[in-house]
A = this chain, B = another copy of it.
Amino acid sequence: MTRRHNRTRAERGIPEATVARLPVYLRALHSLQERGVATVSSEELATAAGVNSAKLRKDLSHLGSYGTRGVGYEVEYLVYQISRELGLTQDWVVAIIGVGNLGRALAGYGGFASRGFRVAALLDADESVVGERISGLTVRHIDDLESVVAEQGVSIAVLATPAAAAQSLCDRVVAAGVTSVLNFAPVVLSVPEGVDVRKVDLSIELQILAFHEQRKAGGPGEGGWAGELDGPGDRPRGEGPPGTKQYIEAVEA
């Protein structure tokens, strides 16, 4: 441990994996705070967050040296430090684009406001929805997107539209100056350099679960590949693609 200047830490670079866990730690800390806990050890906090304690300590060390050896971390202080690092000490203005089932659910989700996210606008293309009041907001028409973004100072756009509309709406919000997008539409968005996109895809999550579930039940497509090493029925490798032969057979197997 080279003492020296106290800048040994990541100058600017907190690992992405760490950033993704900070919100989890923060939640655990809030929970502790509510229970009146003032101090917590890395071991306890790690358990609450569902991670390894060494990983937690290393994560926190990227923010600075905020623990006390022999004691642990002061909950309130840590809450503040993580909040500041994540940018939660300031307010973020969010616009939700698309007020279908999902958009409504998001508009009513309480987890946003409590974290410094202020849903300031709901927009939709459907005339029959425009004007409706949802969770204290009046739905605006998508034509007003640019002006709403400007007026409200929107910095994060949440796309909860059908897949077909997502890319063009994304282009519009980006053109309007938004540089962070949370995308619920099942499409890969392409955005210019400097714009961040995060994707939430329900169907992909289920598919990943299905993969593991299938594995537990034993091999792909049911039945697995009995004799892998040789003999007939070997894995179709370079079998010459879809002659429609063993392809169809496999379908019916």
Q: Which residues of A contact B (CB under 8 A)?
A: 5-7, 9, 11-12, 19-20, 22-24, 26-28, 48-50, 64-68, 73-74, 76-77, 80, 84-90, 92, 94, 100-102, 104-106, 108-109, 111-112, 115-117, 155-156, 179-182, 186-188, 190, 194, 196, 198, 200-216, 220-222, 228-230, 234-238, 241-242, 247, 250-251
SS class, residues of chain A in contact with chain B: mixed
Residues in B neighbouring A106, C-beta threshold 8 A: 202
Cβ contact within 8 Å between B112 and A108? no
Cβ contact within 8 Å between B206 and A94? yes
Cβ contact within 8 Å between A88 and B182? no
Complexed CA–CA distance, A208 and B14 (Å)? 12
14 A-B contact pairs sorted by A residue (CB < 8 Å)? A9-B235, A19-B208, A50-B188, A67-B241, A76-B242, A87-B210, A87-B214, A89-B221, A92-B206, A156-B210, A182-B202, A182-B206, A182-B209, A200-B200
Cβ contact within 8 Å between B22 and A207? yes
Residues in B neighbouring A77, C-beta threshold 8 A: 241-242, 247
Residues in B neighbouring A180, C-beta threshold 8 A: 209-210, 212-213
Residues in B neighbouring A20, C-beta threshold 8 A: 204, 208
Residue of B nearest to A76 (CB): B242
Residues in B neighbouring A111, C-beta threshold 8 A: 186, 202-203
Residue of B nearest to A82 (CB): B207
Cβ contact within 8 Å between A235 and B7? yes
Which of B23, B235, B241 is close to A207, meaning CB atoms less than 8 Å apart? B23
